[in-house]
Structure 1
Amino acid sequence: MTDPNLEIASLLLDLSEVYRPTSRFWGYKNASRSIRRHPEFLSDLSDREILEIPGVGPASLRVVREYLDGGESGTVARIVGESGNLKEIEARCALRRNFLSAAMVRKVLSETKRGAVRREDYLGDFQMHSQGSDGADSIETLARGCMERGYRYMCVTDHSYGLPVAGGMKMDEMRAQHAEINKLNKKFGGEFRLFKGVEANLLQDGSLDMHPAELPEFDLVVASPHSSLRKTIDQTARMLAAVSTPGVHILGHPRGRMFNSRAGIVADWPAVFRRAAHNGVAIELDGDVSRQDLDYRVATAAKKAGCVFALDSDAHAANQLWMADYALAHARLAGIPSDRIINCWPAAEILQWARTFPRVVASKATKR
């Protein structure tokens, strides 16, 4: 699958590395970001329309035109080749694989793909952050943003107290948040449901930064790695431990990768997925534009292992809830059906699933 906007954005990032840390570095980097997030393929635009994209100037347009006309850029190849940094730039290029541009997400969501999840199947988002930790908006603002998108429920997953760098909340603060959620659920009168959640920090040994006795206070617990994400050592044991913890419902952004920055955790992922499937722990496809974790290729392996999935935005403001579309696009490319995605289940079925371990999937999800 060729994503021309992503390919062009990657070429511009290659150029930016040559010119680090001059103004050209920032110019090419900003153009790259704008192209990645532009909703239309550049091949469908005129040169004038391309130049109207924020940050794209004549120098970037030359690279765009070379790629669209010949599938590569002689300008980039020459400048990178003469820079003396070819190996470093190629290594960084590898950190952009299997991401999707906004234009590709739009295309994937618009296509008819038999058996794959559809946008209208998606009922709610299970990872987002409020002002309680490192988010920008109140819980009610997030809830109303979800309702505007047609959702029936959402889960607030502010960071746990073991991650102070992200404003992790103490348990007394979490309990106050739960009281607020109870009031909002009463206010919405059954038309919309808020689940009480937390994003717990996954420690190096695979345990959580929370006491096991605290986990039952939440409807859903997302366990996510936030450390040791650049190490090249095998971390299979860490991830196996995570999906073997009774209080964990979702393994959040499992690899911890970041676009153009880090590849993330090295592990025997098929083994991790088999364990997760056995225990009924959902594997997250995090739609954050810079994460896209898991991507569609790795998600395909998780599907083959029998996993169920959570497709989430990881929004830190109501105006970021759209990032769930990236998770949906990766799920569609992986061919994941809606009955294998907990965001497509009724609220009562989610709660029933969450209260058991190993978890029993009420639908026929694991048989597909």
Structure 2
Amino acid sequence: MKRSAAPRANVKRATHTADRRPRRQSARAWAPPDDPNIAAAGFLHDMALLQRTERSRFGYKRAAKMVAAGIDRSVRELIAEGTLRDVPYIGPATERIIAELIASGGSAIVADAVAVSTARGEVEKRQAFRRAYLSRYAMRQALDAPFAESIVSRATYRGDLQMHSTWSDGVESIASLADAAIALGYTRIGVTDHSYGLPIAGGMSMASAARQHREVDAVNEQFGGRLRVYKGIEANILADGSLDLSRDERRVFEYVIASPHSLLRRSNDQTARMIGAVREPGVAILGHPQGRMYNSRPGVRADWRRVFREAASRRVAIELDGNWHRQDIDFELARVALDEGCLFALDSDAHSLGELPFTDYAIAHARIAGIPANRVVNCWDAKTFDRWLSERRR
């Protein structure tokens, strides 16, 4: 039986409103007209910050995650149908907040709670950590929207170049990842476990890497050309822009992703650090460049146009990491990188089989940014891709 929607509140104030950016229209780029699900999740996260008990905080956070990442339909449609309460973890309190948002673009409930809270500063800070993320609903819109055939799509995507196995902090064997990749229609994947400089993530020693590569060889032989597994590594960008792997160690791998995993909450400019990483010999991909996390941290601050210009000049691909919590870089920065002439890598950063579909978020951001498939290394034919990797290893 369908539950009726909560009454639409007559909200007179607009002191706490959804982020409604101007609708950008261009010949090459498309964006969802709005994303009520991600806006609703933001309000629920704000309420979570104001709760006195862990149980209440968890309830709001769980509802926020479901609305943002767990449903394919717009909360606006569900409110109109009276079926929002059928969504797991949505109760009367969260339904009222979402109903206010849909009715007015804001929430008096949240605004009043924030106004009298000592956590107001923290709430406002966290709001800045949610910019340019896509909900699952908006991601689906972007994948299904009509684009020129030249724009990257699922159909042109040949394989995922960042994923982690049991050799570092992943939970799946390489063979399991390969099986899943074939089921997704891929012809290539890259296993990119963490390097030894990140022990908290089970980073591989070089001795472990040698053993892993023997396993990759066996998997490639097993699949007999149906799928090629590449021997990648995710190296750490140090404070000065150098990597935690020596140049000789990098040559052991077929490609290197250089990613920031530290100094991600600093307010200082880190342009020199990121440009330094791009200039490091052997780097093929600049991984999740900002190091941002939804509702948690904004990531690295840098003059990204300068970083992208340097990457373009060296044919280092810029990653769009599709992990839902990362979505890094987003469609806004991707447009800047596209303007500077960059290549791109669209990856899941999966640590389990269930995370492999995160490539959908990367592809969605790329489509919104108007990135053509011929600029995406995941879409290249094997000969072109291998030639590019050879260039990067010099």
Q: TM-score range by the shorter chain?
A: over 0.9
> Offset of 1:52 from its aligned partner?
2.1
Which position in structure 2 is the counterpart of 1:91? 125
* Counterpart AA for 2:131: R
Q: Please say if 1:260 is aligned against 2:292.
A: no
How many residue pairs were aligned? 359
Distance 1:23 1:186 in 2: 51
Note the C-alpha offset of 1:12: 0.7
Of residues 147-156 and 82-91 in structure 1, the stretch that sits farther from structure 2 once superposed is 82-91
- For 2:391, what is the secondary structure of its paired residue? coil
Partner of 2:160: 125
Determine if the alignment matches structure 1 residue 180 to structure 2 residue 215: yes
Q: Secondary structure at the match of 2:116?
A: helix
Q: 1:291 to 1:211 in 2, by over 3 A?
A: same
Give the whole-Å Cα distance in 2 for the aligned partners of 1:127 and 1:239. 19
- What is the alpha-carbon distance in structure 1 between the residues aligned to residue 279 and residue 83 of structure 2? 52
Q: Could you give the per-residue CA deviations for residues 187-240 of structure 1, whole angstroms, max 9, x where no partner exists? A: 111111111100011111111111110111111110100000000111111101
Corresponding residue SS for 2:297: coil
Matched, 1:320 2:355: yes
Query: SS of the residue aligned with 2:302?
Result: coil
Q: Secondary structure at the match of 2:264?
A: coil
1:15 has 2:47 as partner: yes
Where does structure 1 lack aligned partners over 5 or more consecutive residues?
Answer: 360-368
* 8 A contact 1:278–1:358 mirrored in 2: no
Structure 2 distance, partners of 1:357, 1:327, is 23
- Contact conserved, 1:127 with 1:315, CA < 8 A, in 2? yes
**Aligned amino acid, residue 150 of structure 1:** G
Matched residue, 1:36: 68
Counterpart residue number, 2:137: 103
Distance in 2 of aligned mates of 1:22 and 1:256: 27
Q: From 203, 224, 227, give the equivalent of 1:192.
A: 227
Deviation at 1:87, TM superposition (A): 2.6
Partner of 1:112: 146
TM-score (norm 2): 0.89
Query: Which residue does 2:190 correspond to in 1?
Result: 155
SS in 2 for 1:162: coil
- Residue 74 of structure 1, aligned match among 90, 102, 108: 108
Q: Which amino acid aligns with 2:65?
A: R
Deviates more, 1:276-285 or 1:180-189: 180-189
Q: CA deviation at 1:8?
A: 0.5
Query: Distance between the aligned counterparts of 1:3 and 1:346, measured in 2?
Result: 35
Which of 165, 171, 180 lines up with 1:145 in the alignment? 180
2:238 is equivalent to residue 206 of structure 1: no
Distance 1:103 1:272 in 2: 31
**What root-mean-square deviation, in Å, do the aligned CA atoms of Structure 1 and Structure 2 show?**
1.3
In structure 2, what is the Cα distance between the partners aligned to 1:196 and 1:237?
29
Aligned with residue 371 of structure 2, among 336, 350, 353: 336
Q: Distance in 1 between matches of 2:253 and 2:275?
A: 22
In structure 2, runs of 5+ residues without a counterpart are: 1-32
Residue 381 of structure 2 is aligned to residue 349 of structure 1 = no
How many Å separate the matches in 1 of 2:241 and 2:366?
26
Q: Which residue does the alignment assign to 2:90?
A: 56
The answer (yes or no) to whether the contact 1:63–1:73 under 8 Å persists in 2 is yes
Give, in whole Å, the separation in 1 of the partners of 2:198 and 2:392.
26
Give the residue type in structure 1 aligned to 2:252: E
SS of the equivalent of 2:272 reads: helix
Give the % identical residues.
47
Distance change in 2, residues 1:20/1:236 (3 Å): farther
| Contact 1:219–1:351 (8 Å) recurs in 2 | no
Judge conservation of contact 1:280–1:358 (CA < 8 Å) in 2: no
2:167 counterpart SS class = coil
What is the TM-score of this pair, normalised by structure 1? 0.95
Q: What is the rounded CA distance, in whole Å, between the counterparts of 1:296 and 1:228 in structure 2?
A: 23
CA shift for structure 1 position 354 = 1.3
